[in-house]
Every structure is written in C-alpha cells, then in structure tokens.
C-alpha cells in the first residue's frame, strides 16, 4: 500500500499543493453529492505526472488504470464518477 501513498504524494508535489488531513495525506472522498468533482484539468495533469514518472509505456498504462485515470467505454474516467 505504500506505493499508492507515494503516488499521491508525487501527484500533490507536481501540482504544488499542500498536504491536507492527518499525517500529511489527503482525506478520502466521502462520495456525497456535495463533494467536489475531479476536473478535466486535474485528470490531465495527473496523467502527465504519471507518464513522466513511469518506467515505460506498459508501466504508465498500468499506473493510469490503477489510479482510475483511464477512460472507460463512455469516455468517463473512474475518478470523475
């Protein structure tokens, strides 16, 4: 599980964001209707960050899929649902 923590920290550093929540990690989204959505720009920047840190094309594809950044058949990424 430490890999997912490292990826989140990496993405936050790429966006210049400050760590939020306890322990310096972002809090889990609640899933409520009033929760802010992930914007198209955030998805684009996350994809760029993953691609720049990936070892090769296969590694990049696997990471994007694990993070929910790969669009499904209707063109929506899981992180934006």
Per-residue pLDDT at 33: 60
Confidence band for 37, pLDDT divided at 50, 70 and 90: confident
HEC profile for the chain? CHHHHHHHHHHHHHHCCCCCCHHHCCCCCCCCCCCCCCCHHHHHHHHHHHHHHCCCHHHHHHHHHHCCCCCCCCCCCHHHC
- The whole-chain average pLDDT of the chain stands at 77
Q: What is the pTM of this model?
A: 0.56
């Amino acid at each position: 599980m430490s890999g997912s923590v490292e990826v989140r920290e990496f993405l936050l550093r790429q966006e210049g964001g400050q760590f939020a929540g306890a322990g310096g990690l972002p809090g889990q989204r609640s899933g409520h209707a009033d929760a802010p959505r992930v914007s198209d720009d955030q998805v684009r920047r996350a994809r760029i960050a993953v691609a720049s840190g990936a070892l090769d094309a296969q590694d990049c594809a696997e990471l994007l899929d694990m993070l929910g950044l790969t669009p499904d058949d209707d063109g929506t990424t899981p992180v934006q649902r």
